């Protein structure tokens, strides 16, 4: 395949230039090598005029609900959502039923994931059953194929236990990703304490829930040498804590989600439970602090926290409805409209945050369009719009459904194979 006359963005080499991208046997090759092959074989070509190509997106925070809650999502439908959003690699979280605390469960999930058209990896649990009381056998989970550890969705409250976990995992060289919310500061989860909560007759989630846990865990991490990823930051104070920690600890990483850099807590009044998430949407000042953190490198990863829930579950009252939204199909489009068009980031920085950095954190062979790299590529049209009228997910819990979003994913290519084409789907 040859992608002709396309604006190529490669954050690994700081490239931003109009080029041809040549692919042989799933690998990016030089034009000279490609031309030798082309003399005897017809090629498939894509006209990239007016389009942008970047390395396939990498999402290190997805929930595919498989095993255990496949009425919400499964590995196959999750993979379809990822491909439609430009993602060629994703890392599944471990809060499944049963939890991914057993090597056989990890192996089974990865076996089924290997049948999909994109690259799917998984984390395993930090504690048995995500109960925060007993450490898992990390070596056996690594041997089963896990590439990191998390109890995402549940904070680990025992500081001594967490230090022991960090110490063991640091020796394996794998990252730990943590959900940082102390339940002591939460009356009702999913909504920011203050005006947003008061409008619902609730007290909500105080920002100190996140701040206190981030502060504690940065201190523990500094003593262990573990690679620590703070998930879905929502507060200005959290961003500042990360910024200061990074000055002395290069093993600290942090995520921001598209919903936290796009929306504020006012969205809860408009969208109800479709804007309920943990940690909750915060104020406009918090959103601006996240923008600043993305721009200056404090926050080095954009991750979706793709969290499917059924319509019946989200139709419950605010107190009882589960938290979370789907996000794989909209992440890059929201990043384009909020971060690129407002000139908060340039394209190289955006692909660094959505491809190169997450790949580096987990040691994945992704995030680059260099010769010799896997041909994992997203092709994007900045001048079109996407009618986001339906989702490939089994769930539809998104405040962005029914909207027109700026930009369009035209193709997603994984290993040299077109795994998504807008021409085949026409916003279905």
The domain spanning residue 107 has which CATH number? Answer: 3.20.20.140
Is 210 a residue whose pLDDT tops 90?
Answer: yes
Give the range of the structural domain holding residue 166, as residue numbers without chain letter. Answer: 57-362
pLDDT of 425: 59
Question: Is 313 in the same domain as 337?
Answer: yes
Q: Does 367 reside within a domain?
A: no
Q: Within this chain, do residues 338 and 416 fall inside the same structural domain, yes or no?
A: no
Quick one: how many helices (H) and strands (E) in the chain? 16, 16
230, 150 contact by CB (below 8 A) = no
Is there a single domain that holds both residue 290 and residue 350? yes
pLDDT tens digits, 333-371: 999 999 999 999 999 999 999 999 999 999 999 999 999
Question: Are residues 343 and 201 both part of a single domain?
Answer: yes
Q: At what angle do helices 75-84 and 103-113 cross, to 10 degrees?
A: 50
Burial of 209 (0-12, 13-18, 19+ CB in 10 A): buried
Residues 340 and 382 in one domain: no
- Given the structure tokens 């009252």, which residue do they identify? 317
Residue 39: the pLDDT is 62
pLDDT classification of 427: cutoffs 50, 70, 90: very low
- 157 with 294, same domain? yes
Specify whether 42 is located in the same domain as 19.
yes
pLDDT tens digits, 39-91: 666 678 999 999 999 999 999 999 999 999 999 999 999 999 999 999 999 99
Mean pLDDT calculated for residue range 164-183 = 98
DSSP string, 1-43: -EEEEEEEEETTTTEEEEEEEEEETTEEE-HHHHHHHHTTS--
Beta bridge partner(s), residue 253: 229
Inter-helix orientation angle 159-170/208-224, to 10°: 40
Q: Catalytic residues, which ones? A: 305
Is 240 within a domain?
yes
Burial class, 44, CB count within 10 angstroms (exposed 0-12 / middle 13-18 / buried 19+): exposed
357 and 379 fall within a common domain: no
My answer on whether 313 and 248 are in the same domain is yes
CATH (domain of 377):
2.30.40.10
Same domain? 206 vs 302:
yes
Nearest to 99 by CA among 144, 151, 60: 151
**Which tens digits make up the pLDDT trace of 284-315?**
999 999 999 999 999 999 999 999 999 999 99
Give the number of other Cβ atoms within 10 Å of residue 70's Cβ. 18
Is the confidence at residue 152, as pLDDT, over 50? Answer: yes
Interatomic CA distance for residues 161 and 167, integer angstroms = 10
Tokens matching residue 77: 């439908």
Domain membership of residue 40 (yes or no) is yes
Is the pLDDT assigned to residue 319 strictly greater than 60?
Answer: yes
- Total number of domains in the chain: 2
- Tens of pLDDT, residues 407-422: 999 999 999 999 999 9
Neighbours of 131 (CB within 10 A): 13
């Amino acid at each position: 395949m040859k992608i002709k006359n396309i604006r190529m963005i490669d954050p690994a080499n700081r490239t931003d230039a109009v080029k041809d991208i040549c692919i042989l046997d799933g690998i990016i090759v030089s034009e000279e090598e490609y031309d030798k092959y082309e003399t005897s074989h017809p090629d498939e070509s894509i006209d990239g005029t007016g389009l942008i190509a970047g390395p396939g997106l990498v999402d290190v925070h997805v929930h595919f609900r498989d095993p255990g809650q496949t009425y919400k999502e499964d590995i196959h439908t999750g993979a379809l959502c990822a491909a439609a959003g430009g993602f060629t690699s994703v890392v599944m979280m471990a809060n499944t039923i049963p939890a991914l605390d057993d090597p056989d469960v990890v192996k089974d999930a990865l076996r089924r994931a290997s049948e999909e058209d994109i690259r799917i990896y998984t984390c395993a649990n930090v504690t048995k059953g995500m109960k925060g009381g007993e450490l898992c056998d990390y070596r056996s989970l690594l041997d089963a194929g896990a590439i990191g550890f998390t109890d995402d969705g549940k904070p680990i409250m025992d500081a001594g236990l967490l230090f022991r976990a960090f110490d063991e995992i640091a020796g394996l060289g794998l990252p730990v990703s943590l959900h940082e919310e102390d339940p002591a500061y939460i009356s009702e989860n999913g909504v920011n304490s203050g005006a947003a909560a008061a409008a619902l007759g609730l007290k909500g989630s105080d920002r100190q829930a996140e701040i206190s846990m981030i502060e504690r865990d940065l201190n523990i991490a500094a003593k262990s040498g573990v690679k620590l990823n703070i998930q879905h930051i929502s507060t200005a104070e959290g961003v500042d804590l990360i910024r200061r920690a990074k000055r002395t600890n290069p093993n600290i990483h942090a995520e921001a989600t598209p919903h936290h850099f796009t929306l504020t807590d006012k969205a809860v009044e408009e969208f109800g439970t479709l804007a309920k998430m943990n940690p909750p949407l915060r104020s406009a000042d918090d959103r601006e602090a996240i923008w600043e953190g993305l721009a200056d490198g404090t926050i080095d990863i954009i991750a979706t926290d793709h969290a499917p829930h059924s319509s019946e579950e989200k139709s419950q009252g605010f107190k009882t409805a589960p938290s979370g939204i789907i996000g794989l199909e909209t992440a890059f489009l929201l990043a384009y409209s909020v971060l690129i068009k407002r000139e908060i980031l340039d394209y190289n920085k955006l692909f660094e945050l959505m491809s190169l950095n997450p790949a580096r954190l987990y040691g994945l062979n992704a995030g680059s369009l260099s010769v010799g790299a896997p041909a994992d590529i997203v092709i994007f049209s900045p001048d079109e719009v996407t009618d986001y009228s339906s989702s490939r997910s089994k769930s539809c819990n998104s405040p962005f459904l029914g909207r027109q979003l700026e930009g369009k994913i035209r193709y997603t290519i994984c290993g040299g194979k077109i795994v998504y084409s807008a021409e085949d789907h026409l916003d279905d």
